[in-house]
Structure 1
Amino acid sequence: MTRSARPLRVAVIIGSTREGRIGDTVGRWFLARARLRDELELAVLDLADFDFPVHYPERATDQMTEFAGSIGRAEAFVVVTPEYNRSFPASLKQAVDFAYEEWQAKPVAFVSYGHGSAGLYAVEQLRSVFTELHTVTMRNGVAFDFLTERLDDRSEDYGRDRAVGLMLDQLGWWGSALRDARAARPYVS
């Protein structure tokens, strides 16, 4: 298998850690669709499964090191994020900050949800954060407004399924292009 024919390693990061959250449900919905793509090798990083310290320690904990290592191994990312008060959760910001070079020269896509704005304010702020980390953020994403719609794994939603497909097409293109570019020449930050 040639380098560009290898499956793209995509980390799907579920950003909410709140009790009673629906982020895991949104993540499962997305993963059911993404797993239909043979060109992707998916890994789930659910932040609720990590025991990160409340205060940033002088030395990285094993959990911090494990998370940063997973970010380093991934070649692309899909961030599943809620919107809390026109922003993204602190748990997600904390986790993002545990890595730096591991994010660089890789693409990031977003699946967002919220009430009214469908999580788009959170995505807007995350784009700024990920730009600082030298990533490429995807223009297209998937968004849910839970004031007007519900998530049902059994229902057919061709518009949203099409949005997932377009987002993954873009993520795959950028992921492969940037993987080849990083192999040809190290990224300079």
Structure 2
Amino acid sequence: MRLLIMGPQGVGKGTQAALLSEHYEIPAISTGDIFRYNIKNQTELGKEALAYTDKGELVPDELTNKIVKDRLAMDDAKNGWILDGYPRNASQVAALDVMLEELGVELDAVVALEADRDVLMERMQKRAAEQGRSDDTPEVIAKRLETYEKETAPLLNIYRERGLLLAFDGVGDIDEISKTIIEKLNEKRAD
């Protein structure tokens, strides 16, 4: 199973990706986690990424594409994966299409989670307080949500046109949301 999980920050992508990863026994690959790891360990990439994330900006495509391509080629991803936080714009969709072709695999589905903006703001402010994340200030959160609406949300139409999009409400009982996603994915797989 090769999946994308999409939606604005705070909608529960990471939580659902972890549950789907466990269910399908495939790695959940979060570009955010990769960047945070590099920032924490002060790698060159981490230092470069930090210059963007501290201002609420997204890391440039060239850096992101390279990391994703390397990660998808790793042994643990041979039987499938869940990509969380990628692609986030049209040029990354094109880059992912090329990567998949080079790897000789196809995307099975795109899971889109949705929630109202005020719910997202509240969730991210709570996460910032709990985790002490410097990149989750109200101003940065608002900027990220605007960027998502402008650049990433339109990608859902690309995947809808390709017949890959499955949309779900990201608000509610976590296990119920996960169960519903798995049911729909299994139905899609059976088609």
- TM-score, with length taken from structure 1: 0.44
Higher normalized strand content (fraction of residues): 1
Higher normalized helix content (fraction of residues): 2
